Amino acid sequence: MNPAFWTAARQTRRLAALTGTVVCLSAASAVPLASRNAAAVKRRLGSLVQTGSQRRPGDFGSRERRVTDVLLVLNAVVYIAQLASKQRLTAWGIKHNGMIRAGQWWRLLTPALLHGSTVHLLMNNYSLNSIGPLTERLSGHARFAAVYAASAITAVVGSVIMNPQMAVGASGAIFGVGGAMAVFFYRHRGYFGESSDAILRQLGQALAINTVIGLTTPQVDQWAHFSGLLGGAAVAWALGPRYVQVEQVKGNLLTLDRPPVPLLAWPSARDGRR
């Protein structure tokens, strides 16, 4: 249960500006923008990656990654509670197929907060710290939390259907965060150009590596990983962000967030917080 999204996460941190072809999208067609407008869009969307509080966006405690930090601390605190309770907390929250089917529905979420060992906890927190901050910054706090929670639940659901063994761990939810990042860069590959393609390749390689690890390591719940990945990607596709640029009459650009389900959409790309 060791998501290898780290290489892709390191590459995303190197993004200093958006690259590639930029288009103006309307309801009917995509119209290429003049280079002066393309530069404006790059600056506008680039601010979502680059600007922020006095702390650097990747630093623990910066406001852009507050949900990631809460999850990191929560994982650690819950693990300490597992040890302090002599694993009674683990027994209460572990993924147990029979108890879930008997009506203990909280077990659809609680396994993502539990870990089987200190190494397990450190590996998952390292993965989350590598991939979570950028995904949260691009998506917003509310959407990132929704992706993480949905991924955690779908990971357990997939595991209940396909894996009879008991299981704990946040890796299914972390795979969902990786799926959300893949959706973002695939959806906006016209803005990020070759950088987007490189990130998607790295994520694909990471998925392949983890698939091999899962097939050769009996303790890894592969079904939870795949289910979490699909759940996170589906929620990210529905909730966004999905940025489009509308060229106004005077040639100015209005950058809008228009996902299929706009419940948590930003009013505009310039409003980088929610």
Q: Are 95 and 160 in contact (CB under 8 A)?
A: yes
CA–CA dist 25, 22 (Å, integer):
10
> Which residue in 127, 130, 171, 196 is the catalytic one?
171
Q: Determine whether 186 is exposed, middle or buried from the number of CB atoms within 10 Å of its CB (0-12, 13-18, 19+).
A: middle
**Catalytic residue check, 127:** no
Catalytic one among 96, 120, 188, 225?
Answer: 225
Pairing of the two strands 243-247 and 253-257 = antiparallel
Written as six digits, the tokens of 223 are: 């079904």
CA distance 204 to 227: 16
d(CA 180, CA 122): 22
Residue 158 tokens, joined = 């997939």
Both tokens of 127, joined, read: 């993965």
Strand-pair category, 253-257 with 23-25: unpaired
Active site residue 225: yes
Any idea which residues carry the catalytic annotation?
A: 171, 225
